[in-house]
């Protein structure tokens, strides 16, 4: 008896197929990043500096805290 690729006993699990595709994509992306001539250390340092700046700016912003009375914005249940 000749079994083809579509035989239920021979079918590969869908999650295994998706994991394999993901791994292939990750490997391909890793090879492309290694082969590129981008200055990754400098780019990463600039990115960290930009994020640090954003965090510092958010601490300087002094917005008044939202305060609710017992009747406003309360989920209820306290009668």
The residues spanned by each domain of the chain are: 13-60
Looking at residue 1, its pLDDT comes to 45
Q: Provide φ and ψ at 49, rounded to 5°.
A: -60, -40
pLDDT in tens, the chain (79 residues): 455 555 556 778 999 999 999 999 999 999 888 888 888 889 999 999 999 998 887 766 666 666 766 665 556 555 5
CB 10 within 8 A of CB 3: yes
The CA distance from 28 to 44, in Å, is: 21
Looking at residue 21, its pLDDT comes to 95
């Amino acid at each position: 008896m000749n079994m083809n690729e579509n035989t239920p006993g021979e079918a590969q699990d869908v999650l295994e197929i998706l994991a394999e595709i993901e791994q292939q994509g990750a490997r391909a992306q890793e090879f492309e990043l290694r082969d590129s001539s981008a200055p990754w250390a400098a780019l990463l340092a600039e990115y960290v500096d930009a994020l640090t700046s954003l965090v510092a700016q958010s601490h300087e912003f002094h917005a008044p805290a939202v305060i609710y009375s017992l009747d406003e914005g309360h989920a209820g249940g306290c009668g």
